[in-house]
Amino acid sequence: MEKLVIEGGRPLTGTVRIHGAKNAALPILAACIMAKGMHRIQNVPDLLDIHVMLDILRSLGCQAELSNGTVTINTALMQSSHIPEHLMRQMRSSIFLMGPLLARFGEVHVYQPGGCAIGERKINLHLLGLEALGAVVEENGNRIVCTAPVLTGNDIFLDFPSVGATENIMMAAAMAEGVTMIHNAAREPEIQDLQNFLNAMGANIYGAGTDTITIKGVSRLSPVTYTVIPDRIVTGTLMIAAAATRGSVTLENTNSSHLTSAIHALRRAGVQITIDGDIIHVSCHGRPRAVERIVTSPHPAFPTDLQSQVMVLLSLADGLSTIKETIFEGRFKHVDELARMGADIRIDQSYAYIRGVPRLYGATVEATDLRAGAALVIAGLAARGITVVEQIHHIDRGYDRIEEMLGRLGAGITRVSSAAGAPTWSAGGAAGKLVSEA
């Protein structure tokens, strides 16, 4: 098992480039199977979830490789529409393949997906949307079989603006007969990126970024070269890390319009933020201020994927802050771990009440999910003493070598392998260096 060992108390300083968005890349990689031939997807992060998706594509008969941020996928020889259960259990985003496989083969065999344990995440909206396009869905235990020799456009109303359901329906409808309109659609930037990718392949889709998306079905799509948008959650994570450590950081390859609510919240906390094109500069040289109320909600509101990270900043703020989590009921699991480090946080159902403390202290903590892990890393960077973050495979699902990225900003952070025995490390060691006892 690997761990991150962090020597806290160093303000982050310097410049780092933001890698591509995992949550944009995954549905785009899935959509590649809708067009036979060779695709080149650029600005793809080297993450565990990306490798799982590539493994799934290979299991379906694709040739798929990731090298230097570019994925090449040859979909010409695909023969299977049956996704292995052991791969689906590794990643929730594997559900994105249902729409593309239906569009290409008229059938798909999948299983209930896995992913982070952050609360109930049903796929009923995905299935209802595909049924509205003419698919027949059969469920047998955790196995799901969808068949649709012909997909037909329809008006679809989502009970909740689910990102995944919106994207799955978009992909299936892109090659359906007739027109599909998705009402109460999710509005996230990753959906706009998927629309742009599908249109580059020859689809006819408009409205992404609003609550109504219109898809006019086409009979054929063609392979393309495409560049994925920068990761807004990684951007936000580093902005918060800079503020929590009272540092001064410049972030390149960003899109500030994707983070309007988060930037507003950070400015309310006293963080200085300046924006120049795709460059964001963040600094915070004093104790942050408490923020009376932050509410997570679908885009463009404050993202749930930054809730645990901003909680760390507010744990160090002057005063009492409140966060309401409206998306995932299981997204406060990091609170107990932060309490080990001295945070003063009280949970009451969907509310977190955070009373700022002067400082946090290093401790051994466990990442319970992807974003909770990122929050604990930030806490370790800001804390006094040494912090050890365990179960970091969760973090590797969404951050491309987080220790190297933070190391370029002067963090004292090292990845440690203890597989061969008791670990040894240098807490202020070189970023990204693996250290183990032989």
Residues recognised as catalytic: 116
* Contact indicator for 273, 282 with CB cutoff of 8 Å: yes
**Residue keyed to tokens 């909680």:** 311
Helical axes 163-173 vs 189-201, angle rounded to 10°: 10
User: Does the CA dihedral 427-433-436-438 come out positive or negative?
Assistant: negative
Lateral strand order in the sheet of 364-366 = 364-366, 386-390, 2-7, 412-417, 434-435
Measured distance CA(239)–CA(117) in Å, rounded: 25
Measured distance CA(120)–CA(118) in Å, rounded: 7
Instruction: Report H helices in 202-306.
Output: 232-244, 260-268
What is the SS3 assignment for 39?
Answer: strand
**Residue keyed to tokens 């689910």:** 162
In sequence order, what are the residues at sequence separation of 6 or more whose Cβ sits closer than 8 angstroms to the Cβ of residue 42? 20, 69, 70, 225, 226, 227, 228
**Residue keyed to tokens 């650029």:** 42
Measured distance CA(70)–CA(226) in Å, rounded: 10
- Please give the structure tokens belonging to residue 196: 């742009």
Q: Which amino acid is at 248?
A: S
Helices (H) and strands (E) in the chain, counts: 13, 24
Q: What is the DSSP string of 293-345?
A: -EEB-STTSB-GGGHHHHHHHHHTSBSEEEEE--S-TTTTTHHHHHHHTT-EE
In sequence order, what are the residues at sequence separation of 6 or more whose Cβ sits closer than 8 angstroms to the Cβ of residue 193? 21, 24, 28, 228, 229
